[in-house]
Chains A and B, each alone.
Chain A
Amino acid sequence: MKNQIFLNKGLFLVFVFILILSGCGKKTQGPLIESDAPNKVYIEPGKYDEFYAFVSGGFSGQMAVYGLPSGRLFREIPVFSQNPENGYGYTEETKPMLETTHGFIPWDDSHHCELSMTDGVPDGRWLFINGNNTPRIARVDLKTFKTVEIIEIPNSAGNHSSPFITPNSEYVVAGTRFSIPIENKDVPISSYKDNFKGAISFLKVDKNTGEMGIAFQLITPPFDYDLSHAGKGPSDGWFFFSCYNSEQAHTLIEVNASQKDKDYIMAVNWKKIEELVAQGKGTEMPTEFYHNKYEDKTHSAKSEIIKKVKTLKPEDIAGNIFYIPCPKSPHGADVDPSGEFIVGGGKLASVIPVFAFSKMVKAIEGKEFEGEVAGIPVLKYESVLSGEVKNPGLGPLHTEFDDKGHAYTSCFVSSEIVKWDVKTKEVIDRIPVYYSVGHLLIPGGDSKKPYGKYLLAMNKITKDRFLPTGPELTQSAQLIDISGDKMKILLDFPTVGEPHYAQGIPAEIISKNSQRIYKIEENQHPYVTKAEKDARVERKGNEIHVYMTAIRSHLAPDNIEGVKVGDVVYFHLTNLEQDWDIPHGFTIMGNENSELLVMPGETCTIKWTPKTAGMYPFYCTDFCSALHQEMQGYLRVSAKDSNVPLTFSIGKKEQ
């Protein structure tokens, strides 16, 4: 994505130059106040938004949750990056979530959110999001808004074409943006065409638990797989992956991967391939990848290393994989709500090609091929094409749909959203955005049932839209009303990180299931303390385990003595509250880890290694109650050779 931004920023400059030369470079925007925009986005205090928007954080590695139409930020869910605010990735319980074969990775580049679906419609159970840099997919449970699973993708190197989902959440996919040698090894970069391959992974999703597992990988030619979407309705059973760099360049990709007029959309019949795999096709290859799972009952994550993966070569799946030529360096591969039309977003193309699934099926039957790449037939462009949207705008990237037969395409270079008719391919309307839009979001806009009321444009360049904050600016989202014939801009709001793809869903589907507390009687954490009377401190060699409880307004125990330099102290804090929105925090002076933020009924552990003898205060970091400031204690650290006995207490009266 970064490369594309540089490329497109370059193009943008060229384009602006042309605009200035032609004397029409000034964009104007009338005042909004005459319109009814304020009423449309104003949510009365205490009232709720109509939609949840789940927006990827890009280089923040996280995901942000907003309300639409207000644009209010509710929460940032830590996914791939450590979050000292609540201890994610710092606590003993959550550290395993960020383990990979490359070690503990505290960060990633999270790009695309995808909601789980039932019958092609978002069902609000889980949300999947990809880690682009160290290839991974995470799953967030939408009852708790917690990251509960992260699985590493072997043989991949840049998990960009991910984690798009099939209509009944059978599979999420992971197409690699970088092709690499499979298995990864030390070869000259110049041997790219011979040694490099692009792996496309299909991850089976358990329909009850949501748990992922890599079912199989397709080993395809060394292109850069960019985005994808599953077919639905008539095209259910197929998956469509856009790819660029069909030139198979390995240097100065900006130029060398932009030579051909057309790259491809790869069409894959996953239902047939699933059958072939069930029949035993494919090769099991040794590999290694991490599968990290978090369990609510134990409030803890565990890592498992998996050592094999099933791979299939094009010849193993002949007749079930095809390339559709697509102009030029396509980004989006988007399927309309009917499932008949597949839209390619050719970043460098002057048209938007719209392919028809029914024509693709006929072309395959009639063997209307123009050639083949590595044994994969390339269909004739015209045979699959339903039509082209002419003069859509420059740099078409990504398309979403409404429920009235319209498509909306983001145009990065000309910085606008273009609305067009899916059947006639006529451009109906266009609206400028500020500036250089990447992805779009329409709630349900990539499903069978879009809610065609709002469109959210996620812009890559912000410049003068908000009060300046030095060279580093927030990124900007813009809410557009698409309920009428003309698109109308309603609202600008800043975003967390750099949003790429996002998902929206009617709020009610999720809010009604949102969990308020963890039941203390269900807590199976190995270090839980279920009652204050059981709070204690235990020594195991040089390990000190503090079984601590928190309830308004004290931590128990709050006086601890007998810890020595050289000891490793684990604070296992259980929040005994069973009351909604009463978390407790915890930290101790000189703590090299983060704080803890413990939800009612939850147990969290932070590790602390005191280095010098002395007095170490600890306290609750969340303003929990009127006596929050009194929620504090002391831990005494003695010299290594001291003979201070290990003691602990709370509420001991002075002698």
Chain B
Amino acid sequence: MKSRIAIFSISLILISVYFIPVWRIDLEAPQYPEGLGMNIWINKITGDLNTINNLNHYIGMKSIEPDSIQELKIMPYVLAFLILIGIVVSISSKRILLLGWVLFFIILGIAGGVDFYLWEYDYGHNLSPDAAIKIPGMSYQPPLIGTKELANFTASSLPDAGGYILIAFGILSVLILFYELKFKKN
């Protein structure tokens, strides 16, 4: 019973991820003391995108166009599916469903990470041969998570509020699964 309420609650909390950014990439440079930032939501990218794109053209990086990123179109449905299944799990008491739900989320998390890494790799390495600034051997891939020096910029890639909610959700759902499997064997 307690587990079902918990599953129901964390599923509902996931709705907040529609309204806050999930990830952020922050850039700092000597001439940008106020910083430049890019906020990745599940369906859009906000922040100083124009300025970042304009600066990136010097190194031949592709312009980041949210409209052409498929993930931003799919993610809202995936999240809705996750929430929906969570509610179904909380209503039915099928443990196998719970297991499936948690595994789905974990796979989703890993897939998301891999996708984000590939996306960053593509933008960081696929540079125009006509770029004005070419540094031999230099690529501009921001870190998956953490901080890295890229030319005059210090780039940091970290979860935003929505990302922390997703991480918390992941931990809680695993804990609930353990609780269910360990103490309620009967």
Contact surface of A with B, Cβ cutoff 8 Å? 551-553, 577-580, 626-627, 630
Contacts and interface: CB of A to CB of B under 8 A. Distances in A.
B58 A551 contact: no
Contact of B58 (A577, A578, A579, A626): A626
Contact of B54 (A577, A580, A627, A630): A577
Contacts of B51: 577-579
A579 B132 contact: no
B46 interface: no
Nearest to B132: A627
Contacts of B34: 580
Interface in B8-60: 34, 48, 50-51, 54-55, 58
A627 B132 CA distance: 9
B54 A551 contact: yes
By size class, the interface of chain B is under 10
Contacts of A553: 58, 132
A578 B55 CA distance: 12
Contacts of B132: 553, 627, 630
Contacts of A552: 54-55, 58
A595 B48 CA distance: 30
Contacts of B50: 578-579
A577 B53 CA distance: 11
Nearest to B36: A579
In the A-B complex, the 8 residue pairs with the smallest Cβ-Cβ separation, listed nearest first, are A579-B51, A578-B50, A627-B132, A552-B54, A551-B54, A578-B51, A627-B58, A580-B34
Q: Is the interface of A mostly helix, strand, loop or mixed?
A: loop
Contacts of A577: 51, 54
B144 to A, nearest CB: 27
B54 to A, nearest CB: 6
Contacts of B48: 579
A553 B55 CA distance: 10
Given A552-B58, A580-B34, A630-B132, 7 more contacts: A553-B58, A577-B51, A577-B54, A578-B51, A579-B51, A626-B133, A627-B132
7 contacts: A551-B54, A552-B55, A553-B58, A577-B51, A577-B54, A579-B50, A626-B133
Q: Is the interface of B mostly helix, strand, loop or mixed?
A: helix
A612 to B, nearest CB: 34
A551 B51 CA distance: 10
A580 B33 CA distance: 11
A578 B53 CA distance: 12
B117 to A, nearest CB: 29
A630 B58 CA distance: 12
Nearest to B55: A552
A652 B58 CA distance: 18
Contacts of B133: 626
Interface string B120-151: 00000000000011000000000000000000
A626 B133 CA distance: 10
A565 to B, nearest CB: 36
A171 to B, nearest CB: 40
A490 to B, nearest CB: 29
Contacts of A551: 54
A630 B132 CA distance: 11
Contacts of A579: 48, 50-51, 54
A17 B133 CA distance: 70
B35 to A, nearest CB: 11
A580 B55 CA distance: 13
A493 to B, nearest CB: 27
B64 to A, nearest CB: 15
A553 B57 CA distance: 10
Contacts of B55: 552
A578 B54 CA distance: 10
B73 to A, nearest CB: 24
B171 to A, nearest CB: 39
Nearest to A577: B54
Most buried by B among A553, A579, A630: A579
Nearest to B51: A579
B45 to A, nearest CB: 16
A579 B29 CA distance: 14
Contacts of A630: 132
A371 B54 CA distance: 75
A168 B48 CA distance: 40
Contacts of B58: 552-553, 626-627
B131 to A, nearest CB: 11
Nearest to B152: A626
A580 B48 CA distance: 11
Nearest to A516: B34
A580 B36 CA distance: 11
Contacts of B54: 551-552, 577, 579
B32 to A, nearest CB: 9
B27 to A, nearest CB: 12
Nearest to A520: B50
Nearest to B34: A580
A474 B51 CA distance: 41
B128 to A, nearest CB: 12
A551 B48 CA distance: 15
Contacts of A626: 58, 133
Interface in B53-103: 54-55, 58
A486 B177 CA distance: 78
A46 to B, nearest CB: 9
A579 B48 CA distance: 9
A552 B55 CA distance: 8
A552 B50 CA distance: 12
A327 to B, nearest CB: 57
Contacts of A580: 34
A552 B54 CA distance: 7
A562 B170 CA distance: 66
A580 B58 CA distance: 19
Nearest to A630: B132
A626 B132 CA distance: 10
A577 B58 CA distance: 15
B134 to A, nearest CB: 13
A261 to B, nearest CB: 62
B37 to A, nearest CB: 13
A577 B133 CA distance: 20
A551 B34 CA distance: 21
A584 to B, nearest CB: 12
B52 to A, nearest CB: 10
A626 B59 CA distance: 12
A523 to B, nearest CB: 15
A579 B32 CA distance: 10
A577 B34 CA distance: 17
A578 B48 CA distance: 9
Nearest to A600: B51
A58 B51 CA distance: 41
Nearest to A627: B132
A552 B57 CA distance: 9
A125 B185 CA distance: 72
A552 B48 CA distance: 15
A354 B47 CA distance: 59
B168 to A, nearest CB: 35
Contacts of A578: 50-51
B59 to A, nearest CB: 11
A577 B52 CA distance: 11
B150 to A, nearest CB: 16
